[in-house]
Structure 1
Amino acid sequence: MAENTRIEWADHSFNAWIGCTKVSAGCDNCYAERERATRILDVRWGAGQPRHRTAVSTWEIPKRWNAAHATFFATHGRRQRVFCSSLSDVFDNEVPPAWRADLLRLIAQTPDLDWLILTKRIGNARAMLNEAVLEMSSGARTWDAGAWPNLWLGATIVNEIEAERDIPKLLETPAAVKFLSMEPLLGPVDISDFLTPGWPRCETGFVQAARYEHGYCATCAGHVTDPIHQSGMHDVIDWVIAGGESGAGARPMHTHWARSLRDQCANAAVPFLFKQWGEWLPADQADTIQRDAASAAASLSVSGELRLDRDAEIFQKDDAYVLRVGKKVAGRLLDGRVHDGFPVHKERCHRRAVEATARA
């Protein structure tokens, strides 16, 4: 279950285990549950069902990718990105804690790979990362003591409710890069409060009482009210991925939702990647060939109400007229452009720090 991937934002995908439980509206049409590997191995989805750990040989493959770092970097000018896990959730409650510790060991042993861990259970992430690092280091360190520069942490957000509930949890969890996967996007979402451009940060703070009494920092001479001393100012989202749903039962995405996220990111100078329209394509984004390929049509309100009746009396102001054309035909152009934003790694991978953790 490790392979090169066609996912636009990763080079490889890796699954340490298979199986999950649906916990979000975004899970309703879960592609992983329908995957061939899931069916062949007879993995059952749901709470209380055992997860299937992948073969030892699968766990060796990332080490080969890591060994190929120099060649890949010489060709592409960047590090390899690994999506973990596409057929499961690293922070699933059903997963034995020892498996997570084994996964963290593998990540530590492959410091030249950037591991992108995406979860629908971001509320579990911090505690489970601390637990795993404690186990693999025999109690010598925790995740909170220093996030690894080759582990990027992402949360799946599909609507406003999840954004308000889960993005703060992501921001509270240490990670080198914090990102959102807003796919399938099921409604309008305002994430602007979480996209404040990064501020300089004073690491030491008020260490001399005399200076503190006068309201100034002994380290940077900045005032107590300066943004560099506000703990939340550096905890922002580094990257946003957005996309529509594909496959059986796919729900359409409104043009406004995608544009809004694009514009929010642009205003905050946060990289934005538009992955796909999915099964449905708004008519205002379609060319003649795409319109001719439509097998169905509907109207979609800005709030997310889908109406299959195309009667003009039903169509409301700001509705999107959406066409079912299939993922491949729909493509990934938003207003005629490909949006392929990626974050610049804030801290280049410190091999020695990661390897020291692996040896601990």
Structure 2
Amino acid sequence: MTTTSRIEWTEQTWNPIVGCTKVSAGCKHCYAEVMAKRLRAMGTPGYEKGFALRLIPERLNDPVRRKKPTVYFVNSMSDLFHERVPVDYIDKVFEVITQTPHHHYQILTKRAERMASYFTSRPVPKNVWLGVSVENKRHGVPRIDFLRKVPAKIRFLSVEPLLEDVGPLDLKGIHWVIVGGESGAKARPMKPEWADAVRIQCQKQKVAFFFKQWGGWGADGKKRAKSKNGRLLNGRTWDQMPAGVQI
């Protein structure tokens, strides 16, 4: 099953795997876990066990059936490189990706070390964008070095939820950086200076910068009933994409 995405930087989501487990601070209030519980309550196929990790092979060929060139976010409800996803199943996902060069696939992981290890013996398809989550210094920043080892055409960082000032970032070999605050009832606030510090570093190192959202807290430091609170940073939107890419 693929669905039109409400995520600002992609077009469709493709979930041949659902469910995950927490590995770092960014996972604490996981949006996918909350959504999985709702989908289970609604009786949505694939979520009979809520957020328990589950492979759904019947969804593997969904992109093959779509002829219109599409940007897919792979496993928005899981992590392709989760330690319990068998290597041969990951291979099957990439077989589909290779068979559909008219699509682009965005793959984001918090298991950067496993991702880097996987690609030591396999080529990266040209239509794949690989990214890592960078929510803080302790868990997020070290993932960048693992990402840099992988020869993907586009490498990106999801600095979301941004939980602190992540400090100096070496963006060599990185093509795109997304920044956003945390959403949901228990969202942790993001300070404007944290987001702007990342933007300035992107500008200096000539990396495309995309500001996704404020999340549950506004730029004024006040919590709102509704998440997102707009997309303005320093009075403007930032929708930069990697060179030659448009969504």
Same fold (TM over 0.5): yes
Question: Could you say what secondary structure the match of 2:13 adopts?
Answer: strand
Q: Please list, as runs of the form range in 1=range in 2, the aligned pairs for 1:159-198 lying within 5 A after superposition.
A: 159-192=136-169, 194-196=170-172
- TM value normalised by structure 2: 0.90
Match of 2:118 in 1: 128
For 1:26 and 1:345, the matched residues in 2 are separated by 30
- Shift of residue 262 of structure 1? 0.9
CA contact (8 A) 1:177 1:345 kept: no
Match of 1:53 among 47, 52, 55: 55
**1:275: which partner in 2?**
212
Partner amino acid, structure 2, of 1:125: M
SS in 2 for 1:127: helix
Distance 1:27 1:148, change over 3 A: same
- Do 1:82 and 1:114's aligned partners in 2 also have CA atoms closer than 8 Å? yes
**Which is helix-richer, 1 or 2?**
1
Q: Which residue of 2 aligns with 1:287?
A: none
Match of 1:207 in 2: none
Per-residue deviation, residues 300-338 of structure 1 (Å, max 9, x unmatched)? xxxxxxxxxxxxxxxxxxxxxx10114456111111111
Is 1:339 aligned to 2:226, yes or no? no
**SS in structure 1 of the partner of residue 90 of structure 2:** helix
Deviation at 1:44, TM superposition (A): 5.5
Give 1:19 shift.
1.2
Q: Tell whether the 8 Å contact from 2:177 to 2:208 is kept in structure 1 after alignment.
A: yes
How far the C-alpha of 1:53 sits from its partner, in A, is: 2.2
Residue 249 (structure 1) aligns with: 186
3-state SS in 2 of match to 1:105: helix
Instruction: Quote the Cα distance in structure 1 between the aligned partners of 2:86 and 2:216.
Output: 36
Shift of 1:158: 0.3
* CA shift for structure 1 position 159: 0.7
Maintained 8 Å contact 2:97/2:125: no
1:88 alignment partner, one of 68, 78, 99: 78
Ranges in structure 2 where 5+ consecutive residues have no aligned partner: none
Query: In 2, are the aligned partners of 1:274 and 1:339 still within 8 Å (CA)?
Result: yes
C-alpha distance after superposition, 1:78-101 (max 9, x if no partner): xx3210111110000111222111
Runs of 5+ consecutive residues of structure 1 not aligned to the other structure: 70-79, 131-141, 197-235, 284-321, 347-360
Q: 1:153 to 1:87 in 2, by over 3 A?
A: same
TM-score normalised over the length of structure 1? 0.63
Distance 1:191 1:239 in 2: 16
Q: CA deviation at 1:163?
A: 4.1
1:158 to 135, 150, 155: 135
Trace 1:197-216 onto structure 2 (pairs within 5 A). none
CA contact (8 A) 1:277 1:327 kept: no
Equivalent residue number for residue 314 of structure 1 = none
Q: Give the 3 Å change call, closer, same or farther, for CA 328–251 of structure 1 in structure 2.
A: closer
Alpha-carbon distance in 2 for matches of 1:329, 1:155 = 22
Instruction: Report the alpha carbon displacement of residue 166 of structure 1 after superposing the two structures with TM.
Output: 1.3
| AA matched with 1:90 | L
% identical equivalent positions: 38
Q: CA RMSD in A?
A: 1.9
Q: Cα gap change, 1:13/1:325 in structure 2, threshold over 3 Å: closer, same or farther?
A: same
CA contact (8 A) 1:246 1:326 kept: no
Q: 1:268 to 1:5 in 2, by over 3 A?
A: same
Q: Which has the larger radius of gyration?
A: 1
Given that residues 18 and 38 in structure 1 are in contact (C-alpha distance below 8 angstroms), is that contact kept between their aligned partners in structure 2? no
1:165 shift after superposition: 1.7
Pick one of 126, 130, 145 that aligns with 1:149.
126
Tell me what 1:118 maps to.
108
Report the alpha carbon displacement of residue 179 of structure 1 after superposing the two structures with TM: 0.5
SS of alignment partner, residue 124 of structure 2 = coil
Give, as a single letter, the amino acid of the residue that structure 2 aligns with 1:86.
S
Contact 2:119 2:150 in 1 (8 A): no
Which residue pairs with 2:48 in the alignment? 42
Would you say how many aligned residue pairs link Structure 1 and Structure 2? 239
Distance 1:328 1:23, change over 3 A: closer
3-state SS in 2 of match to 1:115: strand
CA distance in 2, matches of 1:170, 1:59: 25
